[in-house]
Structure 1
Amino acid sequence: MARVVLMTGVSRYLGGLYARRLSADPSIERILAVDVVPPPHPIGRAEFVRADIRNPMIGRIIAQAGVDTVVHMNVIATPKDTGGRATQKEINVIGTMQLLAACQKAESVQRLVVKSTAGIYGSSSRDPAVFTEDMSPKVMPRTGWGKDSVEVEGYVRGFSRRRPDVEISMLRFANVVGHGIHTALTDYFSLPVIPVPLGYDARFQLVHESDVTEAMVRATTGPSVGIVNVAGDGFVTLLQCAAILRRPIMPVPVQAAGAVGGLIRQTGMADFSADQIAFLAFGRGIDTTRMRTVLGLEPTHSTRAAFEDFASRLRRSVPGADEVGDAVTGAAAGTIAAISRVFERIQS
């Protein structure tokens, strides 16, 4: 049973939710919350420790406190939150390496809990309907958070071979949405006009921020679970999400999606990568049997309910957005054939 917990990423939104939720568990004697900047939100009874997991000092903190459970939540999803892709990769990959090296040397560590992502499965036209935990991606993530998470999971597997006495729980979450969280996907759906891949209507799963917190707490305080997919029940499609938001859509040929994404990224409104564009075109499905049978989690929000909670906090982009959205979407639909003919001529 966890007594002294060290968590990373407390200054991020989900880290704050987790720290407050874990603080309510009387069986936890002490919580050390590590990050490079002070958290802008309450963290319950967790003790904030200003430290960088890329620095070997993290090992001294673990040893001196007698930490028995390490919870790694500091794999960063969006480069704009860290100042660029190079910094994001350094924090995600180098930071994880240093943290695991510290855990390997600390005899007190008995459990490691890692927040991972279903993004490690990638997105392609060759994917199965759903991925189980023992499946490999058909097309490996090539950029960004997905690629970093593949490397992080590789380091965790290496750590488990070197320290077979340490229990490992690694949760692969579907895209997280909710009333307060900001991610690349929520930024995308917050755009005044939503660019969608022409000819595609991807289906995917989501998970609510509150269910993420509950899953992480269960992995911390309950039995070890190994690798578990976590998502809300059911699926939504890209066009269903746009309809729920009452946002106009702009069909974009897949060949031009990268250029459009680059322009949007330059404005700072949303972050786009090649893997995110593939996700918007092909979607992703994950099997959640182990979530129920091993982790013992029944999500409080379905995929649709989670998205509707996110949608409820968005303000209308402009007055009369419903009417404008209907008009723009209708006009865009009428240009699909013309755009397709143009790109057919370019390719021929």
Structure 2
Amino acid sequence: MSGRRVLITGLATFWGGLVAKHLEEDSSVDVLIGLDTREPSVELERTEYVRTDENYSILARIVRAARIDTIVHTFLVVDSTQMSRRTMHEINVIGTMNLFAAASAPGSTVRDVVVKSSGWVYGTAIEDPVWFTEETPRSHPPRTAIEQSLEAVEGYVRDFAEDNPHVNVTLLRFSNVLGPDIETPITRALELPVVPSVFGFDPRIQFVHEEDVIRSILFVLERRLPGIYNVAGDGLIPWSEVAAICGKRTCPLPPVGTELAAWPLRRIGVPLPEELLDLLRYGRGMDNRRLKRAGFEYLYTSAGAVEAFVEALRLRRTVGGTQPAYRYERDVEQFFRHSPAIVRDTGAG
């Protein structure tokens, strides 16, 4: 019986590259293809890279030609500081629409789809419950561009799952991610000499370690587990305590005109997007019990993720970067993969 034939969107993203690297070690995966607008940022051995545009117009041809049976959709923008609102809409909404059009085309071989989403889809407001379950509705309509695009994406996920019951569709909503390598508006804020906060607010924040993010994606892939799952470490931590664990004090921004007051941070390369400023007022908790009941075990609590992040920062400051950044070069990749001059390790003793 042949193995799985996997297509990963967002191969050049932090998550796409790591998922591909782990799947390369899985002997049950026969084919790995990665799509992105940019070249891969991690060294990969057997993943085939295909350049595409923001809305993945080539995706249907690849799914059909390579007889893809599994799609891992990591190419969702969840950091609104990365690009314009229009580009984010092209990637998140139009790209996802094209993905599901390809997966549902006549004769499609796709049987598993995993979509990496975010807790930003819940929003954050004073009326929110302490814990959002997977079924908890938002307190208010989406206000920010990132929330609006994620809500549209999840609408496509629900429609596709209802129209294609023969396909296992998994939606993972991740809490605020921390780790040694990922960079987000929150990690950039925590690396400042003083940590920004909003005067009069000390919200309780939840985190998930980047290692648990990858492990959860691989977990649902291996088990072909359909449904919607929150992925978040146990516990909520007051923002002031997060800053204290990082060895920092907070610098309150005014509760009125907060975005204007945060403008100087944007000038030094640390923008605080609208959704993060809302989080620094009200916080957010995500109920993680559904994925646990399915058998997933977290390696890190919320507090553990913060502590691991601080330790990684301390180590980085002490020893610096250990390896030069990887640079993808197509001709070099083709040589190492296909040249008869390369001696292949067959594992013979």
| Shared fold per TM-score greater than 0.5 | yes
SS in 2 for 1:279: helix
Instruction: Tell me the distance in 1 between the aligned counterparts of 2:252 and 2:74.
Output: 35
More helix, by proportion:
1
Instruction: Tell me the distance in 2 between the aligned counterparts of 1:92 and 1:261.
Output: 27
- Cα distance change on mapping 1:79 and 1:279 into 2, 3 Å: closer
Instruction: Tell me the distance in 2 between the aligned counterparts of 1:205 and 1:143.
Output: 20
Does structure 1 residue 59 correspond to structure 2 residue 60?
A: yes
Residue aligning to 2:296: 297
Instruction: Tell me the distance in 2 between the aligned counterparts of 1:140 and 1:269.
Output: 30
Residues 140-160 of structure 1, C-alpha deviations (whole Å, 9 max, x = no match): 331132222111101111222
Residue aligning to 1:223: 224
TM-score, structure 2 length as denominator?
0.85
Instruction: Tell me the distance in 1 between the aligned counterparts of 2:62 and 2:171.
Output: 23
Instruction: Tell me the distance in 2 between the aligned counterparts of 1:240 and 1:225.
Output: 36
Instruction: Tell me the distance in 2 between the aligned counterparts of 1:270 and 1:193.
Output: 12
Letter matched to residue 314 of structure 1: L
SS in 2 for 1:116: strand
Residue aligning to 1:283: 283
Contact 1:174–1:206 (Cα < 8 Å) also in 2? yes
Q: CA deviation at 1:44?
A: 4.4
Contact 1:33–1:47 (Cα < 8 Å) also in 2? yes
Contact 2:180–2:313 (Cα < 8 Å) also in 1? no
Residues 9-44 of structure 1, C-alpha deviations (whole Å, 9 max, x = no match): 111112221111111111111111111111121234
Letter matched to residue 198 of structure 1: F
Instruction: Tell me the distance in 2 between the aligned counterparts of 1:212 and 1:66.
Output: 27
SS in 2 for 1:314: helix
Residue aligning to 1:323: none
Instruction: Tell me the distance in 1 between the aligned counterparts of 2:185 and 2:243.
Output: 16
Within 5 Å, give how 1:125-274 maps onto structure 2.
Answer: 125-265=126-266, 267=267, 269-274=269-274
Instruction: Tell me the distance in 1 between the aligned counterparts of 2:191 and 2:88.
Output: 23
Q: CA deviation at 1:168?
A: 0.7
Letter matched to residue 291 of structure 2: M
Residue aligning to 1:91: 91
Contact 1:52–1:58 (Cα < 8 Å) also in 2? no
Gaps of 5+ in 1: 319-348
Instruction: Tell me the distance in 2 between the aligned counterparts of 1:261 and 1:197.
Output: 10
Within 5 Å, give how 1:9-158 maps onto structure 2.
Answer: 9-52=10-53, 54-82=55-83, 84-105=84-105, 107-158=108-159
Instruction: Tell me the distance in 2 between the aligned counterparts of 1:15 and 1:8.
Output: 7
Residues 254-284 of structure 1, C-alpha deviations (whole Å, 9 max, x = no match): 113121233423x152232322211111100
Gaps of 5+ in 2: 318-349
SS in 1 for 2:262: helix
Residue aligning to 1:8: 9
Letter matched to residue 119 of structure 2: A
- Cα distance change on mapping 1:43 and 1:268 into 2, 3 Å: farther
Instruction: Tell me the distance in 1 between the aligned counterparts of 2:232 and 2:296.
Output: 10
- Cα distance change on mapping 1:281 and 1:44 into 2, 3 Å: farther
How many residue pairs match? The answer is 314
